[in-house]
């Protein structure tokens, strides 16, 4: 089973691509890290309790006033203002939040991947906004990055979607996820068939055509006979997965080493 990593940045169109892949003619199962991240911090969960314990002393409006049977939900805009933006304090709080949410998300993603494999799917989409930053890239046979060529497009789309955001709020959220053009470069370093970039600067019809082209190429990398062989003979799939992990891990380490050397020269 192919692990197809889908990533991008906020307001680049990644969610639109995820929706396309979930419907015919693709009909792929989607493991949505953002959705799971919401589920693991709902009132009554261990993640919710940890967030309240850490952030409530510094964030008076952390919880919404309307309570559910399990408790008051998180005030996400207030939490976002606490962790997004520059400065040591925000960076520390952002790391603390990630340290709470990410382990719970990974556990649920593993469960869903196993279930997709048992159902015989030829591929499963790992929809992870911070795929590179969280280390998921090494597990993906193919990565698809959805990007735009100008960050101002992201800011405009984000403010159109979330009208409560100011220009500064939108810019902070875009910048907190890194430069999408760097993610695109990192993706292409994986090589043909392993890294694909879709530039979503145009309208929906253009994106639809691009996805048709991209998925034809991706499907050619995982023919049906290979999918069946990996499913019928699990050791074959396991060895293929380990080999892919080894190759992609080398690419990851090479990229990180190059960035360290470039940073040292500054």
pLDDT of the residue at 229: 87
Q: What is the mean pLDDT of residues 9-15?
A: 90
Question: Tell me, what's the pLDDT at 164?
Answer: 85
- The Cα–Cα gap between 237 and 70 comes to 42
> Is 243 found in the same domain as 132?
yes
Is 177's pLDDT higher than 80?
A: no
Q: 50 and 164, same structural domain?
A: no
Residues 182 and 234 in one domain: yes
Confidence band for 197, pLDDT divided at 50, 70 and 90 = very high
Q: What is the pTM of this model?
A: 0.81
* Contact (Cβ atoms closer than 8 angstroms) between residue 143 and residue 5: yes
Percent of the chain at pLDDT exceeding 90: 48
pLDDT band at residue 253 using 50, 70 and 90 as cut-offs: very high
Report whether pLDDT(266) > 80: no
Same domain, 102 and 193: no
Q: Positive or negative, the Cα torsion across 116, 103, 83, 133? A: negative
Residue 129 in domain: yes
Which residues pair with residue 103 across a beta bridge?
Answer: none
Of 188 and 178, more confident: 188
Looking at 90, 118, 146, the residue that finishes a domain is: 118
Separation in Å, CA 123 to CA 6, 50, 62, 108: 12, 34, 39, 18
Give the residue ranges of DSSP H helices in the chain. Answer: 14-22, 33-39, 46-55, 76-83, 88-118, 151-161, 167-176, 180-188, 204-221, 224-232, 234-265
For 199, the domain range is 2-29+120-265
Does residue 143 carry a pLDDT above 80? yes
What integer is the mean pLDDT of 180-200? 92
The total of structural domains in the chain comes to 2
Q: CB–CB of 173/158 below 8 Å? A: yes
Cα of 167 vs its chain's centroid, Å: 24
More confident residue, 178 or 14: 14
Whether 150 has a pLDDT exceeding 80, the answer reads yes
Nearest CA-CA partner of 186 in 133, 149, 265: 133
**Non-local CB neighbours of 72 within 8 Å, separated by 6+ positions:** 43, 63, 64, 65, 66
Residues 104 and 130 in one domain: no
Q: Cα angle vertex 21, ends 1, 40, to 5°?
A: 80
H-type alpha helices, 119-203: 151-161, 167-176, 180-188
Last residue of a domain, one of 66, 86, 118: 118
Kindly list the distances between the CA atom of residue 83 and the CA atoms of 24, 78, 109, 128, in Å, as whole numbers in the listed order: 38, 9, 24, 19
The answer to whether residue 34 sits within a structural domain is no
Instruction: Classify 65 as helix, strand or coil.
Output: coil
Residue 204 within a domain? yes
| Per-residue model confidence (pLDDT) at position 224 | 83
Residues 187 and 225 in one domain: yes
Total Cβ atoms within 10 A of residue 128:
26
pLDDT at 222: 82
Last residue of a domain, one of 96, 118, 140: 118
Give the model confidence (pLDDT) of 16-75 as tens digits: 999 999 999 999 999 999 899 899 999 999 999 999 999 988 888 989 888 788 889 998
Residues 101 and 207 in one domain: no
């Amino acid at each position: 089973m192919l692990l197809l990593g889908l990533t991008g940045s906020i307001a680049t169109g990644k969610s639109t691509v995820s929706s396309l892949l979930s419907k015919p003619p693709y009909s792929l199962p989607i493991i949505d890290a953002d959705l799971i991240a919401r589920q693991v911090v709902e009132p009554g969960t261990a993640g919710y309790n940890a967030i309240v314990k850490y952030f409530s002393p510094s964030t008076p409006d952390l919880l919404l006033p309307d309570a559910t049977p399990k408790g008051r939900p998180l005030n996400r805009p207030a939490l976002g203002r606490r962790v997004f933006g520059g400065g040591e304090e925000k960076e520390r709080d952002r790391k603390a939040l990630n340290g709470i949410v990410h382990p719970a998300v990974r556990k649920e993603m593993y469960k869903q991947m196993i279930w997709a494999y048992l159902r015989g799917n030829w591929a499963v989409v790992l929809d992870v906004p911070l795929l590179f930053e969280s280390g998921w890239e090494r597990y993906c046979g193919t990565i698809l990055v959805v990007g735009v060529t100008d960050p101002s497009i992201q800011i405009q789309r984000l403010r159109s979607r979330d009208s409560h955001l100011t220009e500064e709020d939108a810019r902070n959220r875009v910048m907190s996820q890194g430069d999408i053009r760097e993610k695109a470069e990192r993706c292409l370093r994986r090589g043909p068939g392993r890294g694909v970039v879709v530039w979503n600067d145009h309208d929906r019809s253009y994106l639809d055509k691009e996805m048709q082209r991209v998925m034809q190429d991706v499907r050619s990398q995982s023919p049906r006979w290979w999918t069946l062989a990996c499913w019928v003979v699990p050791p074959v799939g396991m060895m293929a997965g380990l080999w892919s992990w080894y190759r992609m891990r080398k690419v990851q380490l090479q990229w990180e080493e190059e960035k360290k050397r470039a940073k040292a020269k500054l």
